[in-house]
Structure 1
């Protein structure tokens, strides 16, 4: 049954317009209005809290600073610290000043310590909050005092400055003149603790940083990861950790620190007015329309697309005769599927022609590669026959002639043919026997072949060129040449593979030759190691990417390894299938 087709564009606009446009409009307006309103209110509340707390802290510190400044301006004992006095006066004045400073520490818990310095009387004395600080923290305060005393006038002009001492945040100020100074250390962690101790559950908390956002206080609720330094100039921002906070901050020009206020963020659903509730209801209504629109889209678009994709997957797996159903409501799908089917028919015809041309090319390439194998030892064989004739060793000559004829008969097999592994091994043994006639040293060849693999078929002349390479380059003076040929079967997930390993105890490959062999690409011509290069090219032509050749040098000799698919003769394959 055929349906009246309509335009894909019109159908898509009609289907999506049912719910997308109203829903997007409502959701965007609702989210923008609710989030902006709520977050602005919360942020403004945090700003007000920072202003109140900042005003109180600045007032307290100005009051303490004024008290110390009055001491240096009007107090007799402080005046003695500016001038050189005798030891008794120094001691009495220092004692009286200490009483005043301890009173300040008692009345101002935010003060961590006060340090009195008189350079002319060689006096430096710290007054601490009792049992509050470790030795490391006290040593850190001393280092700050020493640093300030290098340039006290400049440091005094800067006012309050933030420091981290042994991981704790402090505000430091230098007051005094003419060699007599008072250092005030304000403990920021104490101000934070007092604030947290007095806050109610669910209320925000304060945090100190430097102007650049470097942490000056520690809190269990928040770590330095929540201090987003690239948003310091924003009106507010939200943290990304599990316990979310809305964060506002404000810089104090007097204290040179940044006040952060972390407000527990409960989401914009926590406080909603009527307008927000209305838009929430409309949003849910729009969501309910989604399944209806999904059914319409699925029937008109998703199913045809899935059918097209499934057909393409089958074609990709090798079934190029698959066709796509073109009886759909959407006109564009009809045109696409009809065109697709026509295209696949043309591709099938072109593919057949391409494979025929490729087979012809491969045959020509294989025949050409066969000519690259040079029987360079034939001259030695003829010389050996000539020598035997001179010595009238006719029986030995007859045996050698039979071996040469067997060698030539095997050598001139069609390069497209595959031979049994047993036949290739016999050819290798025959080749070794021929070579022994002209060698002055012993040669030992060991074969390790699983019995069931001898009938498997491999390309002709696959192993002999490696043995020939060992005779040509692997012989050492006064040492028996040992060649090992090992053939095993590897069980793989897709198909079993043959692993053919040929090793010798010779000189190994030269580094440049080894790199050339291992990096060789198919159809690459080479003047050296023609036999092995020929094998690499034939493996690619016969097996494609399934075969691999790897050559390596060992501690003593060389090793060549080939991995290729297991193939059995047609007769054995038919017997197994029966």
Structure 2
């Protein structure tokens, strides 16, 4: 990613134009987005503050009422004669019933003073009996359920430490949620209950929208009740209520709450964010419209710049880049562009045509020079071997081996016939091998039992085009420098195909078991110089390297090294196809659609 970023031409005209266009449009869009977001946050703060104030006031009233009920019940438990009698284990049945009746009348009258409370109850542990005082709206079935639930809760508390039950707690009875407080005084439990819906009744008119509501939730964030049904998924009430936040599966509900100081429950207002922002339609729509127009103008301006300026400029840059890489077979296609670019394109095409014509003239001169150099290098081989052949015939004539002279003369006829017919720059490998076998036969007649040669060339490489006499030069060089009169050597000529390179290559190797190259000779060969000693210059390997360079360029090369444990190795690597793919038949390539 960083490399791609670093490759951007920051100094080019097109990049500067695009950056300038973005530097004007993007800040404007960002300002509109910030203004829209700021307006939304202001409205959120105002609505949240208003709801927070109402919720806090009502929760404070509820907490004050619950605190007052706790103090009243605590006072009755320690001072009222009827309640003390109900908790007395020594009280008779009649005394207990009279005390129960008096306590019921007292607590029933107290319900008028505490409008948030739905009922009081007293439970006598000695008598295992409960007395309730409740508002008329409580049905008998619900009262029975409350009596059973409270009795079970009291029996559980008798098995636990007194400090466990110290606050108002939520309880469900027949599916209805209640807030209950239990106080123990000796052998007596006294307490009060209030239905959740009773606590929410004063907030039923609070404006939370059609899809919002005021809820009471417990300490675990579970809903206990609400001013209206709220079928919303994903609402989270466990984040605390120090500040407002957005919740819901899509974060589209504003949540404001206040926790009670008297119990593990909280009062929460939930409002749909969309309805809260309905007072901001014009500003939001105007901002959105401006943003859409700005983006459209940005795209239109970018398209216009690309069509009128950047595309013609890019075509021209692509053409210049290709020229710099040496590709002159191209023309800029005529297209509807401004007059300035039409003039530049016509001048560019004329310049390319003139350069191409000049290149053709120079190329033809180079070809002529190259052919002359190849011919000269090939002619250097003929007199060199010719003198060696005359020397062989002279030696055979001295020992009067006339049959060998005749056989060698016929071999020389075939040899020089091939030499004189090898005026072409390339011949097939099988013809070169036939010539080498004939040459080796001549040398074996001259040096019997001094060497043997193994030629291994696959059938599918027999027609590979190679420069003529190039392998014969290597074989001749081996016989000249490796064969000695005091022993025999082995020579191996092999060919293989390399298909893992960028193009198929043929590897030709000639190796022997002689002494090998000296270090000085290897350094001289690898540096491209001719080897010279007291007998003069040795042009064989240098000749081979130069012919490969002139014929194939960088597509072919020669390697020389010593074998293990001894012996010289010369490898020639040439392309399977003399001409590179795509070189012939190329036509002028328009660059109208490049890039």
Rg larger in 1 or in 2?
A: 2
When normalised by structure 1's length, the TM-score is 0.47
When normalised by structure 2's length, the TM-score is 0.46
